């Protein structure tokens, strides 16, 4: 088995194009894990036939709802419906541990989060390599929301065909940490909310095309496309790089 990634959800915060919020399933010969778990992720997982009970590990890039809002739904279903017993680890940026119970209470007031399984919530320090449940990851600071710690993630994955590097920008504008994230990655998934219109919080395709040589990945895929970007594609403006779609499976 080679490593593969399923775009369970690759949309923006607003469901543009009917797409689910960000949620990627990574499967390697040794493990599987989610990257982000936006508000619609439980529905996306069920549509794709993913056994939610079998996912041992979730990585979170930042604390916006379209990247973390699905966690209360997933946890409560695991406790109340699935009667999960297998442990679960959630790793993300500083602030995650305090945010998760607040988020759950906001969405399900009066419903205590009493879990019949072991839940470990780990906060990853930016720019420090870590090994989480056997997965090697380095979070790098990116620029998205000034009051939050927002990160991109670079993974080094064991693979019988040689170690693979998977990288994801998270939500960000252009920042000097992006080449560090992307350089020589077997697959680099990058935010591209707009086609060529500058955004205060997100990258645009035109900037990525202009600065691609600085990134230097082996393969680049665009995600988090907004409605204006999708509209441009609908009239035949095709970007030079691959674009994600919900349900798309890629190997790397």
Catalytic residues: 66
CA 78 from centroid of its chain's CA atoms? 21
Residue 77 has phi, psi (to 5 degrees) of: -65, -40
What are residue 135's DSSP bridge partners?
132
Q: Considering Cα of 53, then 74, then 22, then 150, what sign does the dihedral take?
A: negative
Q: Give strand ranges (E) for the chain.
A: 4-9, 23-27, 32-35, 57-59, 88-92, 119-123, 130-132, 135-141, 151-157, 164-168, 187-191, 220-223, 242-243, 249-251
Q: Are strands 220-223 and 242-243 parallel, antiparallel or unpaired?
A: parallel
């Amino acid at each position: 088995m080679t490593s593969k990634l399923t775009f369970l959800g690759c949309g923006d915060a607003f469901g543009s194009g009917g797409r689910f919020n960000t949620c990627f399933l990574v499967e390697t010969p040794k493990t599987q894990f989610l990257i982000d778990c936006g508000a619609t992720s439980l529905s996306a997982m069920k549509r794709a036939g993913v056994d939610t009970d079998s996912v041992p590990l979730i990585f979170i890039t930042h604390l916006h709802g379209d990247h973390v809002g699905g966690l209360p739904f997933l946890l409560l279903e695991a406790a109340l419906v699935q009667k999960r017993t297998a442990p679960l680890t959630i790793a993300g940026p500083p602030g995650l541990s305090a945010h998760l119970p607040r988020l759950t209470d906001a969405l399900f007031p009066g419903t205590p989060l009493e879990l019949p399984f072991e839940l470990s919530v780990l906060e990853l320090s930016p720019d420090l390599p870590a090994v989480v449940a056997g997965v090697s990851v380095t979070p790098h600071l990116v620029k998205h929301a000034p009051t939050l710690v927002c990160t991109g993630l670079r993974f080094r994955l064991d693979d019988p065909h040689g170690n693979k590097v998977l990288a994801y920008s998270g939500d960000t504008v252009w920042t000097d940490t992006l080449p560090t994230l992307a350089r020589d990655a077997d697959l680099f998934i990058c935010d591209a909310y707009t086609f060529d219109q500058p955004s205060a919080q997100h990258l645009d395709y035109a900037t990525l095309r202009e600065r691609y040589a600085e990134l230097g990945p082996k393969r680049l895929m665009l995600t988090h496309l907004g409605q204006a970007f999708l509209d441009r594609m609908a009239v035949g403006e095709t970007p030079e790089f691959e674009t994600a779609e919900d349900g798309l499976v890629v190997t790397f």
